[in-house]
Amino acid sequence: MAPVGSAHGYDYDLVVIGGGSGGLAAAKEAVLLGKKVAVLDFVEPSPRGTTWGLGGTCVNVGCIPKKLFHQAALLGESLHDAGCFGWNIPERKSITLDWPKLRESVQNHIKSVNWVLRVELRDKKVEYINAKGTLIDAHTVHAKLKNGTEKELKANHILLAMGGRPIYPDVPGALENCISSDDIFSLPEAPGKTLVIGAGYIGLECAGFLNEFGMDATVMVRSVVLRGFDQQMANLITEEMTSRGVKFLHKSVPVSMEKQADGKVKVTWKSLADNSVSSDVFDTILMATGRRPLTLEVRADQVGVKLDPQSHKVVSDRELTNVPSIFAVGDILQGKPELTPVAIQAGKLLAQRLYNNGKTEMDYDNVATTVFTPLEYGCCGLSEETAIERYGEDKIEVYHAFYKPTEFFVPQRSPARCYIKVVCLRNSPQKVLGMHYMGPQGGEVMQGYAAAIKMGLTMEVLMDTVGIHPTVSEEFTRLWITKRSGIDPTPQSCCS
């Protein structure tokens, strides 16, 4: 794409709708390249009335608060370990979580990030407009400011980066009686006995930390746990969470939700297996059944942007929509990973291609991610199912092993589901197609291997790599047992 020398009669070279990670990354990169840029950001209150500041889902109601709540859960678990290692710790049952204190600490951090982002935009000369943006035509954005005033912004390029919001299914009482991930991290009081509807990574992570906080947590699963992820690993996560006390209602869907006189909610659900109907009363219902893109809200369809008819996500090639002046990044793209670092990278590279003759395009393959369940699951590349589907079972080799983290021995924590596997091509040098890890610090373990996979990692190289002992990450360098061999992948000792 040829660089743009000036706004060419427009108010801006680039107007970004959405103040999340992808939009901010593109805006800041464009300004560094000498372009005039405006960012519009406005948060519609959730059905519960929750709002937040600049930074999008990740900063306010996603990755950041989720990781902090997960860390709080890990710290609670470590109290037991500390006593076993000689620290004089009170009986764990006498130690309780102060939810309002946790909420305050996390929200204070989020507000500090909101402020830093505002200052950063000001310093970089990005015009920030706290307004709801909608498309009028291919070069015009209508902005309705928080105070009610309205104006139009003319731009040579428009970037859609609005992200999405939680879906509320059409179930009687759902909208009035449920919260979502938009609300959980700012609840003034602990949610208590909670039903999580949905078994994607958001639902599992929330159920995981609530259970670790000592609350009753149940997950309602319509079809499968962690759809789109490796299903062997998903089953291990389910088993691990069940062993820790999380309850699962498999093959079930909600039928109705009724507020009781004491403020609790009676939920009735149906089993898809036998059509039986059951009910129970919960303090909190957390809806985690997916997210919808905000493409219709900005009228993308009205100006001709091609959307997927089912998901309403943008059908895009290289972040370019079918309207030449309109681009899109982040969670609103059809078939792309809904991950913050993906949006950031795509936004930066797009700005470089638009304004600096850049040639590098976003690589959406082999993007590593981690599900922050109590025992974390990190992965990069293809699932075992996808690899077999793509290449054929006879051309795939799967190396695997259970392992025992050294730090689990003294407190006698169960390593039953600490498991790794590498999916690769069967022919030498056995190119690695996917890596899967379940255990402590899944994100930290997988990040480095992601770079190796991107560089063409093979099993020959991995087996020839000397591990750092004793770590959990070294377990990948010790793999030698294949599923095809039928050999027991359970180790006899930490150094076996």
Closest CA to 112 of 26, 46, 53: 53
Radius of gyration of the chain (CA): 24
Can you say which residues are annotated as belonging to the binding site?
67, 133, 198-205, 290, 331
Sign of the Cα pseudo-torsion (176, 180, 185, 189, in order) = positive
Annotated active-site residue 469? The verdict is: yes
Contacts of 358 (CB under 8 A, 6+ apart): 349, 351, 352
Can you say which residues are annotated as belonging to the binding site for NAD(+)?
198-205, 290
265 CA to centre of own chain: 28
Token reading at 321: 């929509």
Confirm if 213 and 97 have CB atoms less than 8 A apart. yes
Pick the catalytic residue from 80, 142, 157, 469: 469
Using CA atoms, how far apart are residues 318 and 354, in angstroms rounded to an integer?
A: 12
Using CA atoms, how far apart are residues 452 and 213, in angstroms rounded to an integer?
A: 36
Cis amide prior to 470 (ω within 30 degrees): yes
In a 13 Å sphere around the CA of 267, the CA atoms on its Cβ side amount to 27
Closest CA to 248 of 275, 228, 269: 269
Contacts of 474 (CB under 8 A, 6+ apart): 467, 468
Strands 277-282 and 326-328: unpaired
Instruction: List active site positions.
Output: 469
